[in-house]
A and B are shown apart, each in its own frame.
Chain A
Amino acid sequence: MTTAELSAPPSSLAHLHAARPMRSPTRIALGRFLRHRAAMVGMIILIGIILYVVVGSLIFSEAEANYNDTSLRLQPPSALHPFGTDRVGRDILARTIYGGQISLIIGFVSMLIEISLGTAAGAIAGYYGGLIDTVLMRFTEAMLSIPSLVLLLVMAKFFGGKIADIELFGRTFSGSVLVIILILGLTSWMELSRIVRSNVLVLKESDFVLAARAMGASDKRIILAHLLPNSMATIIVAATLGVATAILSEAYVSFLGLGVQAPTASWGNILTEAQEFQIIKDAPWYWLFPSLLILLTVLSINYVGDGLRDALDPRTDKRV
């Protein structure tokens, strides 16, 4: 993942400075990233979580994660069930492992859709203005006005129980998982597009963009090399928030009959099942562990994102 991210175009001023040392901007950025303490901590946590859901699945089988024994309903954490058991007596540890796989995929993929669409729409609308801005922004307004809840209800009616299963990492999922990844991504990009557009509106009038244009740089180059790098920080915040939102929304979407279906676990649906007074009061382990895993995921993405941003920004040399 890191190499792909790092081959992204360097920030606006990077290529001006690039003449100075012999090292390429990519190597400089990589060096900065590796020296970024917060980013490294975030990276380690993120790798830890990925290991948790991957290695964990080698220790527990999916059948164990779904195995219920009603006489063990809502048992507190013990040596046998370190995270306790759920409302039908399933092992919550095993469920957070298998739930993590699906939640992380949903979170990351829909986040990628969100930031790709949001960044593209915002940058293009802001840079070109005129008719393109009008069309894109009116479309954004339309999307902001149509509640995703209604969209999901209808999708649930049309796709519910009618999509073939898919195989992923040797596991079988309802094919509607793809539908909800798409829906989550396609209904969440508007906020980012508006923010990126506002950045671009300011930057495109700035001296360095005017200079680049005077020197004959193409629109594509100006957007990719000058405008977007300056919106990196915003995009990273949107990505961080987007992952958490997608992981939590998945549970609600799946509740309508699309997406992750019982008995398959997801972090979101474990939390949804815990939404009962008696459980919130007496069985904190039920909601504590999945919440903690989501929190760690979000925090680690946040710090990795911070590190990436700092690494790609040549102006910030005084980094830890």
Chain B
Amino acid sequence: MLGKRFCLVWVVLAALGGIFGPVTAQGRSIITIDFQQELDTLNPLYTGMWFMTTAADMYLSPPWYIDDTLTPVPALVTEIPSAANGLISEDNRSITLKLRDDIVWSDGEPITADDFVFTYEMLVSPNNAPDTRYPYDEKIESVVAADERTVVVTYTEPFAPWLTNTFHDFPPIPAHILRPVFEAEGTIDNAAWNRAADVVSGPFKPVEWVAGSHIAFERNENYWGEPAKFDGVFMRFVPEDATVVASLVSGDTDVGTFIAYSDTPALEDAGVNIELVNSGYNEGWFLNFDPETANPAMLDVNVRKAIVLAFDRDKFNQDINLGKTYTPASFWEGTPYKDPDSAPLPYDPDMANQLLDEAGWVDSNGDGVRDKDGVELVLRHITNQRQIRKDLQVIAQQQLAEVGIKLEIENYDSNIFFGGYADDAPMAKGRFDIAELSDVGDFPDPNVSRFLCSQIPSEDNPSGYNDQHYCNEQVDALFTEQAQTVDFDKRVELFHEIDRLMNADIAWAGIWYDPDLWAINSRISNTRVSGADPLWNIAGWEVSG
């Protein structure tokens, strides 16, 4: 009986909710953003999580933003360092940050060079456990406050990717709040500010964090820049993509991201704007070069070429990705570092057959699968659990079977797929011929270390990056050279050469160019979402209705 009465109470409450529910707070313009992952922390030092670094642009100002045209825009600094303005030293090792003199924290304290030095000290302090210290531990020699408005960052050697690092990755945190914590507790790992960042430098300020539910941001009235054009942001944590799509369609939420291309028609029908922004990511096949673990056929460049020729990537992108994207020609697709003369291999099963025949892989036992010296041409394709990747696996399996290659497909939970050598993870241990994932360098910087010979994982180097054991001395030398080449044009030249060599080796085959997808309610305008700093101009977003 209690149950019935209880139910009745709920029904009455629900009816009340019906009356008051859909009415929104009057007079305040608020944007709702749905993120699939809850932020781990508000302190950028403690996470490399994409959602967190994206959110940080709302409340912490970096020295510069990288805008929607991938051009740096000064924020805390007066101008972007360059050789021309003398802020990059002659030896290309020192970068000088000239701070604006009007920048302040939300409590009115000025933002000074000391905040930058403090942030650096916290990153490298052995008493703190930040997510990553790169490049501050291995590439940076010192960070010095020349005066209150001047920060000099000295690298151990010329460091080409300085623009996406040098406090762009870790915007300064407030020294006047956190230094006392560090002095008292010996670490800032557990500082209250990490979860309640009440002193900030960006256009918005987090005011409430309800775990598992949302973070409410309000306009920072003390913002040193142009104040935001609306009152606040509600960042809700909604783990399921389907729910995010439903919320966007119904209008419950204004902004969502990381949505499958296949869900875009529903959004477009509902009048939601879709923005595809270049984030440097490309979905691709990483081919295994390790003679110990790969099928021997993989060591033959013509077989690798045949594999790529036998899969119709354009049709996949047209039909499954609904034509929203295309086959990339380069690991650096969509950036100036891509070799301009490169083009993706076409879909050409006849040529694939011919190459395989010439390489001596023929079906000698009539089982429908090519073989050579008693070894069958059976290849393992591994990836994680993303549905689109599973879709691709069965399509590729069928197409490769047509040229006599048997594709065995496996997929793993991400914790296992991306596990390390010591964990006996399938990719790190080479239990694959083709591994599929989406990867990027220090976007928009092209630097990447997964193709270096020195990164090959082994018992002695269990944490190496180069799971595919790709090792080309020439490419290696070029990678080393580009990392120290600060001059943009020269660096571009070097990358074109790297790209040419890697394409010739067929070390990596692009499947689709993978821009980030942002879905934004049409009541919001002037959104200039960038692939590097998505919410960089959120203060300038305009809200109608």
5 chain-A/chain-B pairs, Cβ below 8 angstroms? A70-B395, A255-B385, A276-B241, A278-B263, A278-B265
Residue B139 interfacial (CB < 8 Å): no
B177: interface (CB < 8 Å): no
Interface residues of A in 165-198 (CB under 8 A from B): none
Whether the pair B391, A157 counts as a contact (CB closer than 8 A) is no
When C-beta atoms are compared, the residue in chain B nearest to A281 turns out to be B266
Whether the Cβ atoms of A73 and B319 lie closer than 8 Å is: yes
Q: Is the CB of B263 within 8 A of A161?
A: no
Residues of chain A in range 259-289 having any CB-CB distance to chain B below 8 Å? 261-263, 273, 275-278, 280-282
Given A276-B260, A277-B242, A278-B265: A262 touches B416 (CB 8 Å cut-off): no
Instruction: Please determine whether A262 and B242 come into contact, CB atoms closer than 8 angstroms.
Output: no
- Which chain A residues lie closer than 8 Å to B385 at the CB level? 255-257
A88 interfacial contact with B, CB 8 Å: yes
Is A276 a contact partner of B319 (Cβ separation < 8 A)? no
Q: Is B275 an interface residue (CB 8 A)?
A: no
Report the bound CA distance from A275 to B263 in whole Å: 11
Listed from nearest, the 3 A-B pairs whose CB atoms lie closest are A70-B319, A277-B245, A277-B242
Q: Is B536 an interface residue (CB 8 A)?
A: no
CA distance A11 to B391 in the complex (A): 53
Q: Is A12 an interface residue (CB 8 A)?
A: no
User: In this assembly, does B54 line the interface, its C-beta being within 8 Å of a C-beta of chain A?
Assistant: no
Q: Is the CB of A161 within 8 A of B266?
A: no
Task: List residues of chain A with CB within 8 A of the CB of B416.
Answer: 156-157, 160, 257
Chain A residues near B241 (CB-CB < 8 A): 276-277
Give the residues in chain A near B47, CB-CB below 8 Å: none
Tell me whether A135 is interfacial, beta carbon within 8 Å: no
CA distance A277 to B387 in the complex (A): 13
* Residue contact A276 to B397, C-beta cutoff 8 Å: no
**For the complex, is B342 an interface residue (Cβ under 8 Å from A)?**
no
Kindly state whether residue A66 has any CB partner on chain B within 8 Å. yes
Residues of chain A at the chain B interface (Cβ within 8 Å): 66-68, 70-71, 73, 87-89, 153, 156-157, 160-161, 255-257, 261-263, 273, 275-278, 280-282
Contact A280 B242 (CB under 8 A): yes
Partner of B320, one of A67, A70, A255, A257: A70
Q: Return the contact of B394 from the options A68, A160, A280 (Cβ within 8 A).
A: A68
**Beta-carbon nearest neighbor of A70 in chain B:** B319
**In the bound complex, CA of A71 to CA of B241 (Å):** 25
Partner of B242, one of A71, A257, A276: A276
Interface residue? B431 (CB, 8 A): yes
Q: Are A263 and B397 in contact (CB under 8 A)?
A: yes
Contact A273:B387 (CB < 8 A) given known A160-B412, A257-B413? yes
Residues from chain A with a CB closer than 8 A to the CB of B391 are: 87-88
Instruction: Give the distance to chain A from B203, nearest Cβ to Cβ, in Å.
Output: 32
A261 adjacent to B409 (CB under 8 Å): yes
Q: Smallest CB-CB separation from A272: which chain B residue?
A: B387
Contact with A along B226-249 (1 / 0, CB 8 A): 000000000000000110011001
Asked if A278 and B320 make an inter-chain contact with CB atoms under 8 angstroms apart, the answer reads: no
**What is the size, in residues, of chain B's interface with A at 8 Å between Cβ atoms?**
32
- Asked if B393 lies at the interface with its beta carbon under 8 angstroms from chain A, I say yes
Tell which of A71, A89, A263 has the most Cβ of chain B within 10 Å.
Answer: A263
| Contact status A278-B262, CB under 8 Å | yes
Whole-angstrom distance between the Cβ of A170 and the nearest chain B Cβ: 17
Shortest Cβ distance from A280 into B: residue? B242
Residues of B near A273 (CB, < 8 A) are: 387
Neighbouring A residues of B390 by C-beta, 8 Å: 262
Using an 8 Å CB-CB cutoff, how does the interface string of B390-406 with A read, 1 for contact, 0 for none?
11011101100000000
Considering the chains assembled together, what is the distance between the CA atoms of A170 and B108 in angstroms?
76
Residues of B with C-beta under 8 A to A281 = 266
How many angstroms between the C-alpha atoms of A147 and B75 in the bound complex? 49
The answer to the question of B120 belonging to the interface, with a C-beta cut-off of 8 Å to chain A, is: no
Q: From B322, which residue of chain A is reached at the shortest CB distance?
A: A73
Chain B nearest CB from A100 CB (Å) reads 19
Known: A71-B319, A263-B394; 10 extra A-B contacts, CB below 8 A, are A70-B395, A73-B320, A87-B387, A88-B391, A160-B412, A161-B412, A161-B426, A263-B397, A276-B387, A277-B241
In terms of DSSP, what is the predominant structure of the interface of chain B? helix
Least CB distance from B149 to A in Å reads 51
Is B223 on the interface with A (CB-CB < 8 A)? no
Contact call B262/A276, Cβ cutoff below 8 A: yes
Query: With a CB–CB cut-off of 8 A, which chain B residues contact A256?
Result: 385, 413
Contacts of A282 in B (CB 8 A): 265-266
Smallest beta-carbon distance A144→chain B, Å: 24
- Distance (whole angstroms) from the CB of A193 to the closest CB of chain B: 27
Instruction: With both chains docked as a complex, state the minimum distance between the C-beta of A39 and any C-beta of chain B, in angstroms.
Output: 34
A67 and chain B: residue at smallest CB distance: B398
Q: How far is the CA of A273 from the CA of B395 in the complex (A)?
A: 15
CB-based contact A160/B410 at 8 Å = yes
Alpha-carbon gap, A276 to B387, bound state (A):
10
CA distance A179 to B263 in the complex (A): 34
Residue of A nearest to B397 (CB): A263
- Tell yes or no: B224 within 8 A of A by CB: no
Min CB distance, B231 to chain A, in Å?
30
Rounded to whole Å, the gap between the CB of B138 and the closest CB of chain A is 32
- B463 in the interface, Cβ–Cβ < 8 Å? no
Which B-chain residue is minimally distant from A275 (CB atoms)? B242
- Contact check, A277 vs B246: say whether CB atoms are below 8 A apart: yes
Which residues does chain A contribute within 8 Å of B397, judged by CB atoms? 263
B136 is an interface residue with CB less than 8 A from chain A:
no
Q: Is B447 an interface residue (CB 8 A)?
A: no
In the complex, what residues of A have CB within 8 A of residue B443's CB?
A: none
Report the bound CA distance from A73 to B391 in whole Å: 11
Does A262 contact B266, Cβ atoms closer than 8 Å? no
Which B residues are in CB contact (< 8 Å) with A157? 413, 416
> In the docked arrangement, what's the CA distance between A48 and B319, Å?
36
**Contact residues in A for B242 (Cβ distance below 8 Å):** 275-277, 280
Instruction: Tell me the bound Cα distance from A273 to B387 in angstroms.
Output: 7
* Assembled-state Cα–Cα distance A280/B245 (Å): 12
By the criterion CB–CB under 8 Å, are B262 and A68 in contact? no
Distance between Cα atoms of A6 and B385 in the complex (Å): 45
Known: A70-B320, A276-B263, A277-B263. A257 touches B398 (CB 8 A): no
Residues from chain B with a CB closer than 8 A to the CB of A255 are 385
What CA separation (Å) do A255 and B413 show in the bound complex?
8
Convert B262-283 into 0s and 1s, putting 1 for each residue whose CB lies closer than 8 angstroms to a CB of A.
Answer: 1101100000000000000000
B408 — nearest CB in chain A belongs to which residue?
A161
CB-nearest residue of chain B to A165 = B408
- A-side contacts of B398, CB under 8 Å: 66-68
Q: By the criterion CB–CB under 8 Å, are A261 and B410 in contact?
A: yes
Q: How far is the CB of A77 from chain B (nearest CB, A)?
A: 20
A66 to B398, CA, bound (A): 9
Within 8 A of A (CB), among B280-329: 315-316, 319-320
Across the interface, do B409 and A88 meet the contact criterion of CB distance under 8 Å? Answer: no
Q: Which B residues are in CB contact (< 8 Å) with A153?
A: 413
CB closest chain-A residue, reference B316: A70
In the complex, B527 has a CB within 8 A of chain A: no
**In the complex, which residue of chain A has the Cβ closest to the Cβ of B410?**
A161
Minimum CB–CB distance from B337 to chain A (whole Å) comes to 32
B165 within 8 A of A: no
Query: Is B411 interfacial (CB-CB < 8 Å)?
Result: yes
In Å, the complex CA distance between A281 and B263 comes to 10
Q: Which residues of A contact B246 (CB under 8 A)?
A: 277
